[in-house]
Amino acid sequence: MELLKERIRRDGCVKEGNVLKVDSFLNHQMDVALLDEIGKEFFRRFGGEGVNKLLTIEASGIGIAVMAARHFDNAPVVFAKKTKSKNLDGELYTTKVKSFTKGVEYDVQVAKRFLAPTDRVLILDDFLAKGQALLGLIDIVSQSGAQLVGCGIVIEKGFQDGGALLRSKGVRLESLAIVDKMDCNGIVFREA
Ligand code: 5GP
C-alpha cells in the first residue's frame, strides 16, 4: 500500500531493538484518514470472505479494527484484553502472549459470548514481529470453534520470523507494508 509506505518513510522512526516508531500517525496519535484507507485496503483483500467479526488485541489494534469495521458492513470488533477486571465477567477464552515490545508474557482473554462457531473472523493488528500476538489470537479463535478467515497486518517486519512462521502454518496473512530492512540509513520495503 503505497500511501502507507510513503507515510512510514516520512514519519517513521527506527529505534534500537528493531522497533519502528510510528506513533505520530498509527499507534499513539492516529491519522483517521489514513486509518480509513487502511480499512478500505483490508476490505479490498478480505471483502469477499464473508467476514462477520473482527478480532484484535488492545491497545494499538483497536483503532485500526474499528475503522476497518466500517468497510466490513459495521462488523463488530472484539479486542482481547490484557488485564482481568471486574468488567470482564462470564466464561473466558484465555491464552498466553509474549510481548515483543515489553518482553514479558501475559494472559489475554476474550469473553466466550463474543465468539461463536458460526463466526467468520478476520484478525487485525498494527505490527507483526515474531508472531506471538497473532498466534495468541489464532489460539482464541480456534478455542471458540469460529472460522479464521485470515490475518491483516498494517506493518510486517519481514526480517523477523513471525510472517514466515504464520504462513508456514497455512494462515492467510496479508500485510499492507513489509519492511525488509531498517536502520539509520532508512527503511527498505519488500516489493509487492
Ligand atoms: P509479535 O507478537 O509479532 O512479536 O509483535 C507484535 C506486537 O508487538 C504488536 O501488537 C505491536 O504492538 C508490537 N510491536 C512489535 N514490533 C513493533 C515495532 O517495531 N513498533 C511498534 N510500535 N510496535 C511493535
pLDDT tens digits for the chain (192 residues)?
Answer: 999 999 999 999 999 989 999 999 999 999 999 999 999 999 999 999 999 999 999 999 999 999 999 999 999 999 999 987 777 778 999 999 998 888 899 999 999 999 999 999 999 999 999 999 999 999 999 999 999 999 999 999 999 999 999 999 999 999 999 999 999 889 999 997
Q: At what angle do helices 2-11 and 32-46 cross, to 10 degrees?
A: 140
Q: Where are the alpha helices (DSSP H) in 21-131?
A: 32-46, 60-69
Which is the closest atom of ligand 1 to the Cα of 18?
19
Q: pLDDT value at position 60?
A: 95
Any idea which residue has 466466550 for its cell?
Answer: 112
Q: pLDDT value at position 83?
A: 86
If you measure from the C-alpha of residue 71 to the centroid of ligand 1, how many angstroms do you get, rounded to a whole number?
24
SS3 113: helix
Protein residues with CB under 6 Å of any ligand 1 atom: 19-21, 27, 60, 100-101, 125-133, 157, 162
Which is the closest atom of ligand 1 to the Cα of 162?
3
